Each structure stands twice: as structure tokens, then as C-alpha cells.
Chains A and B, each alone.
Chain A
Amino acid sequence: MLEIRDLEKTFARGTVNEHTALDGIDLTLPDGDFVTILGSNGAGKSTLFNAITGAFWPDRGAIRLDGENITYQPEHVRARKIGILFQDPMKGTAPDMTVAENLALAYTHGRRFPLARALQKKDADFLRDRLAAFHMGLEDRMKMKVGLLSGGQRQAMTLLMATVAEPRLLLLDEHTAALDPATAEKVLDITVRTVRERRLTTLMITHNMQSALALGNRTLMMERGKIILDLAGEERDRLRVEDLLRMYSGRQGRQLDNDRMLLGK
């Protein structure tokens, strides 16, 4: 369970560039929740993720994961419980290492003596099976350097790496946005399958309003560092993209300004 209380972050305080990126975020995610997040550019979606992963410390507020306060925990310590995928497929894998080595890195970390051989036969078999389930031909490329793979294949690998160690929370930051439409759909498909099968508590930022409403069980809309809409249950099931746009302009008194969101609908 993820609990965020009154989270605040202001960048460049006291300068002309002062910018309140998170303005009192309150959010509770019960286990197994799959939440999609929408919002215009600069609404604070990625900033929220960065606060959760520990890329910076908030000015105020607290983040709790399974009851443990992780607000000021070092990044690599909390990363054991949090998996994250970014938009850039290059960010999640080491290009000069092989597929098998990359996967072994994520899979065996923390569960084996550091000086044990990283790539053992049984791990390789297990990881190959998991890759085969993606139907992207990755299982035959275990010995290939990751730098030679396509963006979609790299992102699929990153997904496996982020989820193989049983995280308590999965963060997806527009992880299909940099892929071509067909590949994006495929990666999204395996994402949804993985999340469902493993019942992962998940936060997914997307600019696609359709999939924001179609996927998961709850949708948040952020604006200027606040959560302005929190939809779940029947209300959400009945909602169409047009309604969402109307609700947005009703609350904000202006049109949504995320070009990709609008063009993508």
C-alpha cells in the first residue's frame, strides 16, 4: 500500500523561476490498485514519480510504502521495492551488456551472495521463459548486446527487469510514448498482462485518454501540482473521453493544453 500525505515541492524557491511542482498531494493506493494518471504538461506527474523514487526530497509531507516511511530513504534502498519505467527505452538497460546479463542484474540482486556467479543455468532458463511469454523474439537473443535491440524490445526487457524482483509498487512514466504505435500497443499489452498476473500496485502516467480510462481501475488527473480528479468505480466506467475534457475545462476554466493528449484522442 502506498500512502502519500500532503506532499509539497517547490523548485527554485525565491527566484523568478519559482515553481510549485507538487502542491499538497494526498493519495492512498490500496494493494493491487492500477491507477492511470493524466495531466497537462508540467502538471507534476513526473515530479510525483521522482519524489516517490527519491530523485529529490520533498519540502514537506510524507511517503509511506507498506507502512514504512520512505520519504528520505536513499534511492537505491527504496528501489528494492519500487520498479520504474521511463519514456526513454535507453534509460532502463545497459547497452554493452547482453540481454541475459541485464536480466540477471535485476533478477539476482539482493537474493544471492554478491560474489556468486551472476548468470546461473536455472536463472537463464527462468528468464528465457519469462521473455518468451512476451512474444517479441527476445528469448532467442539472450547472448546479444542490448544496444542492438529495438526500442520496443528494450522497453519490454526493462519491464521484465522492473517486475522480476516482485516490487511493491510499479511506476510507468509514459513508457510507451517513444515507441511506434504498433510496438507501443504490444508493450502496453504485456504491461497490462504482467500487472494483472502479479497483482502489482501500479501508477501509470499516460497521455492517451482512451487507455487512461480503459486500463486499470482508477484514474487521476493532475494540474499545477494538485490532483484535480480522482475517478473510480461506476462513475469511471461510464465516463467517455469527451466527458473527461468537459470535466477538465469545468474545473480549470481553460482548455487542456497537452498537445499529445488532445492529438492522441
Chain B
Amino acid sequence: MTLLVGSLQLGLMYGLLAMGVFISFRILNTPDLTAEGSFTLGVAVSATVTVAGAPYLGLLAAFLCGMAAGALTGLLQTKVGIHPILAGILTMSGLYTVNLAVMGASSNVSLIGKETLFQRLFTQLAPMPKDSVRLLVGAVLAALALLALVWFFRTHVGLCVRATGNNEAMVRSSSINASAMKILGLAVSNGCIALSGAIVAQYQGYADISSGIGILVVGLASVIIGEAIFGRRSVTLGLISAIAGSVGYRLIISLALSTNLFPTYFLKLISAVIVAVALSLPTIRAGLLRRRIRREGKKLA
């Protein structure tokens, strides 16, 4: 039961990350490595602002900083013409320094004894069990972000962002500014990712400079697990399935950890393997099909 509740809490909070990755990976059609830096940026900003006494403002500030980081990667991709992967790597590397600076040149910040938004809500919603409060916060935040994103991708500008990721040639010959749409899409994506880091930092009660390492793969794994459950149909369903996939991912991980299948430090390797296997499945399936056709063709000959 604790296992389930814990997975649900973390899954919802990391669901924001999964939605952010879904936006860059599936809607914009670019693997965006900025995520590694923007997640930590969210962690750092949220922790620092919380220490200063404003946990809610911390979430907002983290979201805005994440958007700025995404926009920077977008600018590098479009206005300067740097390869999308390299643009992400450049921003991510640069952010390492920025993140350290935000945390006061220290590689971690503790929130123990500070008033995080969870601490506040524990007292405000007093008789409610702490685990329920944590679950509520995760659920409300994920639901709000989901609604906002569903709305956004139905607006005219949201449609333009989707079209840019789907058929850039078409957008280039239309009156839509493709560069601006890419920048905007990456900003929204990284805003979500940073917001995820922001809430996770307050949940865990500390910020760590290395919290973003491998986070893109975690997001990708969530997106892929979600697609395995719901399939790939619409953007709305894709966003919902990203959250569901994130919960699924946490569940799988915590189950595996609780049965002592592998030590905690195996997590990143396992996530990477999940993503690699899932992404190679279509090719493997096509290869198997070709082999079967060849074998049957030979039999007939």
C-alpha cells in the first residue's frame, strides 16, 4: 500500500516532466536534452525561493526559468542554426553553472526545517494524513498542468506549434513563423519540466545539483510506457498517457526495488534499457516480418 501511494505521489509529480518530454519528443519531434538542465534549474530555483520563505512563488519562478531555458535552446536551434541535439547540450551544460549559482555555489540545499508548501498544507489541512496531502498536491498540480496544456494545444498558436513539429516544410511555406513556434514549444516543454523539478524538490526536502542526470530518459520511459497502455492517438490522450506512464514507471521501479531485484543505483541503466528496447521494437518487428517472408518465399521456390 505504501508502495502504491508513494508511486502515485512521485508519478504525478514526475508526470509534469513526462508531459514536458512528450511535447518536445512527440509534438515537436526533437529529442531535447535541455531537460537535464531545466529539471535541475527547477529544483534549484524552487529550493532557493522556498528557503527565502515563498514556496508557491518558488513553483512559479521555476516554471518561468524553465521556459527561459527552453527558449534559449530554441533560439540556438533556429536563429543561429545549431543542430537541435547540440543546442540542447549547450544549454544543459551552461545551466550546470547557473544552477550552482542559484543554489549559492553549493551542490545541495536542504529544506529541512524550512516551510515548504507541503509543510504549510500539512498544518492548514490538519487532520488529513500527510500522505493524502502529498497525493492531493501531486494530483492537483498534474491536473492543472494537464488542463492548461490541453487548452493550449487547442488554441490557434498551439495548433501552429503542432503543425511545425509535424510538417515543417508546410509551415515554412505558410504564413506561420516556424522558428517562433519551435522556440515557444521548447519553452512550454521546459517550463513543465522545471515545474516538475520544483515540486519534487519541495517534496523531497532538498535540492541536489545532480538531480537532473538521466532525467530525459526517465521522461522518455514514462511517455513510452504511457503509449504502450493508451496507444498514440491525439495530443490530449498523449498528455494523459504521459502522466499515466509516469505513474506506471514509478510503480515498476518501486516494485523492482522492493523485491530486491537490483540495487537503487541500477535505476538509470534500467530506464535506458526500457527506452532503448521500446524504441527499437518497431524495427525488430519489421525485421522479423521480413525474415518470415523470405523463409516462406524460399519454401515455395
Contact = CB atoms under 8 A, between A and B. Distances in A.
Nearest to B184: A114
B175 A80 contact: yes
A157 B172 CA distance: 17
B167 A95 contact: yes
Contacts, number: 79
Contacts of A91: 167, 169-170, 173
A106 interface: yes
Interface stretch (B45-53, B77-85, B152-160): B152-160
A84 B173 contact: yes
B163 A105 contact: yes
Q: Specify which of A93, A95, A105 lies most central, judged by the most chain B CB atoms within 10 Å of its CB.
A: A105
Contacts of B174: 76, 79, 105-106, 109, 161
Q: Specify which of B166, B175, B178 lies most central, judged by the most chain A CB atoms within 10 Å of its CB.
A: B175
Q: Specify which of B158, B162, B173, B176 lies most central, judged by the most chain A CB atoms within 10 Å of its CB.
A: B173
Contact of B157 (A75, A77, A95, A114): A114
A119 B175 CA distance: 18
Interface string A83-95: 0101000111111
Interface in B87-139: none
B156 A118 contact: yes
Contact of A117 (B155, B163, B167): B155
Contacts of A104: 156, 159
Interface residues of A, number: 34
Given A93-B167, A94-B167, A118 B159 contact: yes
Interface in A175-224: none
B155 A79 contact: no
**Number of contact residues on B: which range applies?**
20 to 34
A16 to B, nearest CB: 27
B166 A96 contact: yes
Q: Specify which of A77, A94, A106 lies most central, judged by the most chain B CB atoms within 10 Å of its CB.
A: A94
A112 interface: yes
A114 B172 CA distance: 18
Interface in B159-197: 159-160, 162-163, 166-167, 169-170, 172-178
A53 to B, nearest CB: 6
B175 A109 contact: yes
Interface string A152-169: 000000000100010000
B154 to A, nearest CB: 6
A110 B175 CA distance: 9
A97 B177 CA distance: 18
Contacts of B175: 76-77, 79-80, 109-110, 165
Contacts of A119: 154
Nearest to B163: A94
A161 B172 CA distance: 14
Interface string B244-288: 000000000000000000000000000000000000000000000
Contacts of B158: 118
Interface string A24-58: 00000000000000000000000000000100000
Nearest to B167: A94
Contacts of A53: 173
Contacts of B169: 91
Given A79-B174, A86-B173, 10 more contacts: A91-B169, A97-B159, A105-B174, A106-B174, A114-B155, A115-B157, A118-B154, A118-B155, A118-B158, A165-B175
16 contacts: A75-B172, A75-B173, A76-B177, A77-B175, A94-B166, A97-B159, A101-B159, A105-B156, A105-B160, A109-B156, A109-B174, A112-B156, A114-B155, A115-B157, A161-B174, A165-B175
Interface of B: 154-160, 162-163, 166-167, 169-170, 172-178
